[in-house]
Amino acid sequence: MCLALPARVVSIDAGNAMATVLLGEVKKDISLALVEDVQVDDFVLIHVGYALSRISEEEAERTLALFAEAGLSPDLQA
């Protein structure tokens, strides 16, 4: 089983298909190689350094609320 976390895209380097995402106070560089047409302020599901898909802001907020309700704090620094 894998776990993908929602994060907001804050910058994109189209030259190498990389983006910086933000989840809480944590910024992480990720690959956009698996997802097309991602823009700044989009939300993506990330897993092991890759964006897997785009999701709506509402879906991201619901998912993060469930993490908080369960007492979990996603850690993107791993």
Q: Where are the chain's structural domains? A: 5-69
Topology of the domain covering 5-69: SH3 type barrels. (2.30.30)
Position 3 confidence tier, pLDDT thresholds 50, 70, 90: confident
Q: Provide CB contacts within 8 A for 50, sequence distance 6+.
A: 30, 31, 33, 34
Spatial distance between the Cα atoms of 5 and 38, rounded to a whole number of angstroms: 16
Q: Compare 75 and 65 and report the one with higher pLDDT.
A: 65
pLDDT at 74: 59
pLDDT at 66: 87
What is this structure's pTM? 0.85
- What are the tens digits of pLDDT across the range 5-48? 999 999 999 899 999 999 888 999 999 999 999 999 999 999 99
pLDDT at 76: 47
> 3-state SS string over 13-72?
ECCCCEEEEEECCEEEEEECCCCCCCCCCCEEEEECCEEEEEECHHHHHHHHHHHHHCCC
pLDDT at 73: 65
